[in-house]
Structure 1
Amino acid sequence: MAGEIPQAQPPPAVPDPDRERYPYLLLWRWRRNPLRRPSDRLRAWVSLGLVLAVLGAAPAAMFGVGDSAYRHYRSTAEHEARTRDHRPAVLTHDAPRHPEPGSDEAKKTRYPVPVRFTGPDGASRTGRTEVEPGLPADSTVLVWVDDQGRITEPPLTAEQIRSRTMGWAILAFLGVVVTGLAAHAATGLVLHRRNLAQWDAAWANTAPRWSRHP
């Protein structure tokens, strides 16, 4: 129908030159550019060096620290296994009762209770250990005792050794990464301040010529 107003159409898509050149913008410090300063090139080389250093040092630190931690904890576990043993102990007081007997929480709850046991030297000793709720006095439980006759924790298990070793290895890896990021930030800050100082010096030489009156 003549004179009918055509339906509005969306504007044609306009290519975004910045988006097309985005990969090149990431490497602008490496390309020849009249605006590129010597500090820009220096910062690019420093960034590349730090990336390569972190990529090489982080895995090495992770494996090195992890191996040292594993050896340490394995040696500790072997020493604990030699110097600690299970001994029977007798409760000298009733263990507190749980507010909800028979519940899942009650099955996991443990209360510290004084006990009496015989040390490695044969002498009677007293201490405290965690027991199930509701145990009456004179009940017998097993406790771990060290070579000094003190109630202690059981020797480290293989799972505990693995988890602690992994924790130290991850901390070493993250430490190298954080150190690299900190060095990159510090380098950028130093170069930025240097650029500002050079800008101030250049402006101090140029400003008088701009402010002259004819």
Structure 2
Amino acid sequence: MHTAAGVWRWRHNPLRRTTDLVEAWAMLAAALLIALAAPAAGWMCGALANAALQESVRVQHQQRHLTTAVVVRTAPGPGPVVDPEVPSEHAARVRVVADWTAADGSRHTGAVTTTQRGVRPGDRFRMWTDERGLVVDRPMDTSTAGTHAAVAGVGAGAASVAIIEGGRRLVVRRLMQRRYARLDRDWARAGPDWGRTDAGN
């Protein structure tokens, strides 16, 4: 409202310059775009991202299968692996050689990791495989997908605000350059007679 009032006040002000009016309209346009266009862009981006991510969740749950693996022995190599994407109490992953059966019925043996502590031969743990029995990551869940989509929407809205404000600042900078250029021209014309008695008469 303050910006709109400023534009209206400048309309008939005798001291108003054209650049003043352009600057006021640019400020009003930027305020309206930030209030209306930025939230719309954020909502649209979030909705599109959510649709894509939920489809990815659906596909992952179709293509990935939970199976039970049986520990054969501890795998040789360095100590436990820390996974930064899981809670701290389950972050340590131990390498083991295990047997498992794929969704198509084929049997597999290989080196995998598990969060189960103190594993011994014969212990069982759950893991995810694809349709061919290859070990894959746990499929994304709907809540995680929704969180990622919300972050994408907020980011798009913030980026829109930054672009709009950057455009407004660019317009104001150009206007200031025009004002200084005009002032320099006027000063150059008045300069030779500045301070003389009856100058300009």
Is the TM value for this pair above 0.5? yes
Partner of 1:182: 166
User: Mind listing any 5+ residue stretches in structure 2 that lack a counterpart?
Assistant: 81-87
For 1:74, the aligned partner's letter is: Q
- Tell whether the 8 Å contact from 1:30 to 1:41 is kept in structure 2 after alignment: no
Q: C-alpha deviations, 1:179-201, integer Å up to 9, x for none? A: 11111111111111111111111
The answer to whether the aligner puts 1:159 opposite 2:139 as a matched pair is: no
User: Mind listing any 5+ residue stretches in structure 1 that lack a counterpart?
Assistant: 1-22, 98-104
Partner of 2:28: 48
With 120-129 and 69-78 compared, the bigger mean Cα shift is at 120-129
- The alignment's C-alpha RMSD in Å is 3.1
Q: C-alpha deviations, 1:7-55, integer Å up to 9, x for none? A: xxxxxxxxxxxxxxxx79x838833444432111111011111222232
For 1:46, the aligned partner's letter is: A
Partner of 1:201: 185
Task: Give distance in 1, aligned partners of 2:163 and 2:94.
Answer: 44
Relative to structure 1, is the Cα distance of residues 62 and 210 closer, same or farther in structure 2, using a 3 angstrom cutoff?
A: same
Match of 1:129 among 113, 117, 123: 113
- Tell whether the 8 Å contact from 1:112 to 1:129 is kept in structure 2 after alignment: yes
For 2:61, the aligned partner's letter is: A
Q: CA offset at residue 126 of structure 1?
A: 1.7
Q: Percent identity?
A: 22
Task: Give distance in 2, aligned partners of 1:90 and 1:131.
Answer: 14
Q: CA offset at residue 146 of structure 1?
A: 1.6
For 1:113, the aligned partner's letter is: R
- Tell whether the 8 Å contact from 2:7 to 2:21 is kept in structure 1 after alignment: no
- Tell whether the 8 Å contact from 1:96 to 1:134 is kept in structure 2 after alignment: no
- Tell whether the 8 Å contact from 2:127 to 2:135 is kept in structure 1 after alignment: yes
Q: CA offset at residue 119 of structure 1?
A: 3.7
Q: CA offset at residue 158 of structure 1?
A: 2.1
| TM-score, L = length of structure 1 | 0.72
SS in 2 for 1:43: helix
Relative to structure 1, is the Cα distance of residues 199 and 149 closer, same or farther in structure 2, using a 3 angstrom cutoff?
A: farther
SS in 2 for 1:114: strand
Task: Give distance in 1, aligned partners of 2:102 and 2:48.
Answer: 34
Match of 1:114 among 90, 93, 96: 96
Partner of 1:93: 74
Partner of 2:83: none
With 124-133 and 167-176 compared, the bigger mean Cα shift is at 124-133
- Tell whether the 8 Å contact from 1:29 to 1:41 is kept in structure 2 after alignment: no
| TM-score, L = length of structure 2 | 0.77
Structure whose alpha-carbon radius of gyration is higher:
1
Aligned residues: 184
Relative to structure 1, is the Cα distance of residues 211 and 79 closer, same or farther in structure 2, using a 3 angstrom cutoff?
A: same
Q: CA offset at residue 83 of structure 1?
A: 0.6
Partner of 1:102: none
Partner of 1:210: 194
